[in-house]
Amino acid sequence: MSSVLTMNECLGRDLALDLVRVTEAAALAAGRWMGRGQKDAGDEAAVHAMRAMLGTVDIDGVVVIGEGEKDEAPMLFNGEAVGTGQGPAVDIAVDPVEGTSLLAHGRPDSIAVIGVAPRGTMWSPGPGFYMNKLVVGREAREAISSASLALPVAELLAAIGKAKHKAVADLTVFVLDKPRHSRLIADVRAAGARVLTRTDGDVAGALMAATPGSGVDVLMGIGGTPEGVISACAVRALGGAMLGQLAPQKPEEREALLAAGIDIDRVLTECDLVASDDVFFSATGITDGLLMQGVRYTDGGSTTHSIVMRGKSRTRRTIQAEHCIDKVRTIGSCSEA
């Protein structure tokens, strides 16, 4: 067999590093707004930076999961074409600032994220905004099934603990700190497990749950449906497992889903949400978090900490980059905004 790399393999390797540059740019632009209480300004800065950097990447990309519909989001809207137009045809899922409130208040685990998969393989949530999710890492993937979302919490955690060779008391469960989760949090605690909460950021939570050795064993609860597709990119790349079921929170959301012919009772897996193992995922820390440091500023520029993954090869890299001050100024700062 020839040792010469195929064109797809060459493109894949290059694409992974290009995506890191995209999330780094978003994080650098948003980082200047950390703790300033202006979440929209931080998000806008990250969107502009991410869009500009995506424009340099040799892909024929279409945004499937973006900032919203075109009328609501002038940049990185759903359906927008991105990239140079040269290269592979791909679906794009982005969140320039996952956890805008975390960024605005200087709280942990605000990140910039992007997922990429071959054209036509990302599931579109349509009018669905909320999804009930369950995420575990590769050690526990055989412990969950389509019926798991309906199981009592204690029974589900016992199965996950058995698969991971852990007592339930040693499990840590990521749950968004929302009023809708008061019963779930109480049930997790009653089962004997520990709870890690964040007010926002269930992509970060899914990444923690799917990453070996992160200290988080499972993500549970209702979060954003678009974030579910982004999370599936990371889960597939890491070899974990994910279940998702639409969970409309308002009657009008439920009616819109039914009118669109979407089965709200269907339990989706990570393979339904992203129907290819040739998936890429990149995340860069904006604020300090469990898996990544946030943007740090020095007299010569700044540093960023990123994770980038490719599903086909199951390669996961952590990248700490030093950026010179001229580059940081070019990307932008709040003083220039």
130 annotated as a binding-site residue: yes
Rounded to 5 degrees, what angle do the CA atoms 6, 283, 224 make? 115
Q: Is 60 annotated as a binding residue?
A: no
The DSSP bridge pattern shows strands 81-82 and 89-98 to be unpaired
- The answer to whether 227 is annotated as binding is yes
Asked whether residue 322 is marked as a ligand-binding residue, the answer is no
Q: Is 201 annotated as a binding residue?
A: yes
Does 224 belong to an annotated binding site?
Answer: yes
Residue intervals of the chain classified under CATH 3.40.190.90 are 130-273
Buried residues in 199-222 as b, exposed as e (16+ CB within 10 A): ebbbbbbbbbbbbeeeebbbbbbb
> Using the 8-state DSSP alphabet, how is residue 328 labeled?
H
- Evaluate whether 231 touches 310 at the Cβ level (below 8 Å): no
- Residue 180 is assigned to a ligand binding site: yes
- From the options 3.40.190.90, 3.30.70.2190, 3.40.50.720, 3.40.630.20, give the CATH code of 130-273: 3.40.190.90
- For residue 293 the two structure tokens come to 């440091």
Annotated binding residue 178: yes
* Predicted local distance difference test score (pLDDT) of residue 299: 86
Residue 330 labeled ligand binder: no
Give residue-wise pLDDT tens across range 148-203.
Answer: 999 999 999 999 999 999 999 999 999 999 999 999 999 999 999 999 999 999 99
Where exactly does CATH 3.30.540.10 map onto the chain?
Answer: 14-120+280-332
Q: Residue 9: its pLDDT value, please?
A: 42
179 carries a ligand binding annotation: yes
**Which residues of the chain fall below pLDDT 50?**
1-11, 333-337
pLDDT score for 73:
66
DSSP string, 268-307: EEHHHHB--S--EEEEEESS--SSS---EEETTEEEEEEE
Q: Considering the domain delimited by 14-120+280-332, tell me its CATH architecture.
A: 2-Layer Sandwich (3.30)
Query: Would the annotation count 297 as a binding residue?
Result: no
Say whether 202 counts as a known binding-site residue: yes
Is residue 67 marked as binding? yes
Report the pLDDT value the prediction gives residue 300, as an integer from 0 to 100. 85
pLDDT tens-digit series, residues 113-148? 999 999 999 999 989 999 999 999 999 999 999 999
